[in-house]
Structure 1
Amino acid sequence: MKSRSYILIVPLILLCFARVGLAEEAKPAENLSRLEETAVANNPEVKSSEARWQMFRSRVAQAGTFDDPMLMLKIQNGLITDPLNFSKDSMTQKVVGISQQIPYFGKRKLREEVAAKEAESYRWLVEERKLELRRMVAETYYQIYFADRSLEIVKRNIRILDDFITLAETKYSVGQGAQQDVFKAQVERSKMLDMQISLEQQRKSLQATLNALLFRPSETPVGRIADFDLPAPPPAPAALRQTALENRPLLKSLQATVEKGEAGHKLAKKEFYPDFNVSFEYMQRDRTAMGPSPDMYSLGVTFNLPVHRERREAMAAESSSESNMALSELNTTKNQIDSGIADLLAQLERRRKLVDLYKNGIIPQAEQSLESATIGYRVNKVDFLTLLDSRVTLFNYEKEYYDSMADYQMKLAQLEALVGKPLR
């Protein structure tokens, strides 16, 4: 009866595991492109950068306009003895005047250019932030991929160690093995459980990081990360450098800052020339006892005298230093991009070679070694320590394989952020 019960129970257990496996497979896989677009659309730092750009863009129209005209209303030459009598003296006048400040020729256009270049630099910083955000999402995505595959390997090794424990206990029970072999296997299983706990915690932390980038609740579940094949190798270094010069937002932002400094220097030179104030006044006079008093007008131009040259020379020096500083930062960034491309290409080549070596050479050989050691241990031709060593070797190489796969994609995401254009 017991054997019949086991015969009925075992298929039920297998069916339950099959249903669990199907349920896990049924979960939709996460899509990296969709995650990146969600992050760009929702991330508050991007929205903050966009608001800053809009703020500076609104300053462009302000910089290019005239100051408001001034309206003047006054009583001129009124009599102290009779202040509200406008017909007692022919020189008493009611005056209406208007004046307008006019900057020296070219100043308004240069002010507008300075504001426009500053706004442009912030616009490209928005694109740079989006590029950086996509990189961070991609890196977290592939870190989750590596954590998931490591968990799968750990769980599979726990099942293998369960088989080893059963095998060691069976051999010990018939006097063909040592009890120490059982203890060794149990210790190794405990190590795997410890690693499983750490990986599960790491997975939760990475999930929270990804959710923070996407600006959604930290407990939002992140689905399965699908397997993938490595994409084609990236272009040659010269082509990548040209791509960076044409597409990297940070370079465009720094170039706009250089141009802003140049326009500011031209504007500072214009400060050595005067601004003008044009005014017109209409003076109305009442009839007096002496007869009619014709109305009068006044038309005039005033201008400042730019005699304080020290202040204006300091303004020119400041704008020149700003332009030189931005140009130096631009050249430094280009140099960093150049060295970064070389470094990332070398790391990508290394990871690609390791993936091919692990997939087509080392892992199949390690699997054969483990299988051979298992068979040898069953017939007492291999000791238990050799069996465990074969299992650990295969475990480490499988982890290294998935680590190389994930790291290749993360380095590729860094290269895309470096040159400012997708390469996948």
Structure 2
Amino acid sequence: MSALRGEKPQNEFFVVRILCLTVLLSSFAQAPRTFGQEQTGGSVQVALPPQQHPHSEAVAPLQDLLSEAEQNNPQIQAARQGWQSAKQIPSQVSTLPDPQFNLQQVNVGSPRPFAGYTNSDFAYIGLGVSQDFPYPGKLRLKGEIAKREADLVQQQYESVRRSILAEVKSAYFQLAYLAKTLGILESDGQLLQQVEKAADGRYRSGMGTQQDLLQAQLQQTKLLREIAMHHLEVGKRQAQLKQLLNRAQDSPDIEPTGLVETPLVQTYADLLAAAQVQNPELASAQKMIEKQSLQVNLARKDFYPDFNVQYMWQRTDPTQFRAYYMLSFGVRVPIYRGRKQRPELAQAEAEQSRARSELQAQSQQVASELRAQYVIAQQTSEVLKIHREGLAPQARAEFQAGLATYQSNKQDFQALLTAFLDVLHLDEEYWQNVAEYETAIARLEQITGLSLR
């Protein structure tokens, strides 16, 4: 009788736990996960189970979100506007200085302006204009330098654009991964229910222990905790993606499409060749060298003088004298070369050398980052193949065999629970690797400027 009294509360506790788990998991309304794939071209397409969000909307393709980010992201807009601003500078600095117009009036013996010519024969009115002329070639060089500066700003804009789009892709892939793993937790939760039922059956028949049943129930609770943590991470990724798209945080949530294992057909040499031509950081470093070379030429031009031309018309008493016409020519001579022009030239040459060194450093950095992401993509692709063709089916077969053996009292519970955890962890690890693989592909796209998907 005491054994029966101890069993009844335990059974009621078991039923309550099962009901709680069923209610929570059914809220996801997701189709059971399998490792079957749909072949779409060269890609492995895996459909994501539908999820219910507080503010859900239609599935958003990645390409639509990328276009939206290009149009609406404030960082991209600011960089684009900075480029448009820089393009207005070359014409300003390559144009002659504005001319200066002069009006002169001279009286003798009278402080009143324009007193006339009656007070003195030396009274006159004069009109003149003067124009500064930099040494030939200086304005052209200044315009070329400003053009290179605008090209630098353009490459900075391109770098910002690619960086933001890579962040959008990363957040999107993480959302897709979380959506898929929520489906995995739901379907693998059904496997755990089978384990718990088997433990309960053995406990009722006296062949198992209460510890086995409690361990199964503990694993159910851990599963609920993992689901809650996944929803927390989904909220963070939704907030990040909405920020990148410049959407209001209370706008409908973004539902990703399925994760796609994009085939990488390009070799490292192909990707490196594309990066050397299209990478904005390398292009920016190259433009900096061109700019500094022009700056050296301009510093050499500063050793030569600038000029000024002035033309003046003067009128005295028209009844006695004819008008005067005066043309003057001035030269600004750089006589402080040792303290001004020579240090300026040395500075420009040092900046030119620094720009060349920075290009070499940037080339090494791009090649290194490209190699790292290429290796990640290649190795992760091999791991995914091992998962699909070996680990996943083997783990599931081991679990099913272990469950049957446990139900026939030929295996201990710990071995069965370990087999279940292997299935759960391998399923989650598979989709995490898919997300990491796609993130590496996105990084390769950012570095090379190629569209790889």
Normalised to the residue count of structure 1, the TM-score between the two structures is 0.90
Query: How far did residue 81 of structure 1 move?
Result: 4.9
Residue from 153, 160, 164 that aligns with 1:133? 164
1:252 maps to 283
1:213 maps to 244
1:6 maps to none
1:195 maps to 226
Residues 6-62 of structure 1: CA deviation (Å, up to 9, x unaligned):
xxxxxxx99xx6995599389633211111111111111111111222222211111
Query: How far did residue 256 of structure 1 move?
Result: 1.4
Query: How far did residue 338 of structure 1 move?
Result: 1.4
Q: Is the CA contact (8 Å cut-off) linking 1:366 and 1:394 kept in structure 2? A: yes
Alignment of 1:133-282 (within 5 A): 133-282=164-313
Q: Is the CA contact (8 Å cut-off) linking 2:176 and 2:259 kept in structure 1? A: no
Distance 1:337 1:20 in 2: 45
Distance 1:39 1:82 in 2: 70
Consecutive unaligned residues in structure 2, runs of 5 or more: 1-21, 32-48
2:452 maps to 423
Residues 80-99 of structure 1: CA deviation (Å, up to 9, x unaligned):
25762413433321111110
2:68 maps to 38
Moved more, 366-375 or 164-173: 164-173
Query: How far did residue 306 of structure 1 move?
Result: 0.5
Alignment of 1:341-356 (within 5 A): 341-356=370-385
1:389 maps to 418
Residue from 69, 72, 81 that aligns with 2:99? 69
1:29 maps to 59
Q: Is the CA contact (8 Å cut-off) linking 2:285 and 2:362 kept in structure 1? A: no
Residue from 331, 343, 349 that aligns with 1:303? 331
Query: How far did residue 112 of structure 1 move?
Result: 0.7
Distance 2:326 2:218 in 1: 104
Distance 1:352 1:338 in 2: 21
Q: Is the alpha carbon distance of 1:188 and 1:18 closer, same or farther for their aligned partners in structure 2, counting shifts above 3 Å? A: closer
Q: Is the CA contact (8 Å cut-off) linking 2:309 and 2:328 kept in structure 1? A: yes
Letter in 1 for 2:278: N
Query: How far did residue 190 of structure 1 move?
Result: 1.3
Consecutive unaligned residues in structure 1, runs of 5 or more: 1-12
Letter in 2 for 1:237: Y
Distance 1:19 1:137 in 2: 25
> Is 1:292–2:320 an aligned residue pair?
yes
Matched residues, number:
407
Query: How far did residue 355 of structure 1 move?
Result: 0.5
Query: How far did residue 392 of structure 1 move?
Result: 0.4
Query: How far did residue 324 of structure 1 move?
Result: 2.1
Distance 1:343 1:292 in 2: 91
Letter in 1 for 2:301: K
Letter in 2 for 1:282: W
Residues 55-83 of structure 1: CA deviation (Å, up to 9, x unaligned):
2221111101111111111123x212576
Moved more, 215-224 or 313-322: 215-224
Which structure dedicates a bigger proportion of its chain to helix? 1
Q: Is the alpha carbon distance of 1:221 and 1:383 closer, same or farther for their aligned partners in structure 2, counting shifts above 3 Å? A: farther
Over the aligned positions, Cα root-mean-square deviation in angstroms equals 2.3
> Is 1:325–2:354 an aligned residue pair?
yes
Moved more, 26-35 or 385-394: 26-35
Q: Is the CA contact (8 Å cut-off) linking 1:208 and 1:219 kept in structure 2? A: no
1:8 maps to none
Distance 2:132 2:204 in 1: 105
Q: Is the alpha carbon distance of 1:228 and 1:250 closer, same or farther for their aligned partners in structure 2, counting shifts above 3 Å? A: same
Query: How far did residue 421 of structure 1 move?
Result: 1.9
1:114 maps to 145
Could you say what secondary structure the match of 2:105 adopts? strand
Query: How far did residue 415 of structure 1 move?
Result: 1.1
Letter in 1 for 2:441: L
2:6 maps to none
Distance 1:360 1:225 in 2: 26
Residue from 392, 407, 412 that aligns with 1:378? 407
> Is 1:87–2:105 an aligned residue pair?
no
Letter in 2 for 1:272: F
Query: How far did residue 197 of structure 1 move?
Result: 1.2
Moved more, 373-382 or 247-256: 247-256
Query: How far did residue 391 of structure 1 move?
Result: 0.2
Percent of pairs identical after alignment? 25
Query: How far did residue 401 of structure 1 move?
Result: 1.0
Distance 2:116 2:253 in 1: 86
Q: Is the CA contact (8 Å cut-off) linking 1:157 and 1:192 kept in structure 2? A: no
Distance 2:131 2:145 in 1: 23
Moved more, 221-230 or 266-275: 221-230
Query: How far did residue 187 of structure 1 move?
Result: 1.0
Moved more, 59-68 or 221-230: 221-230
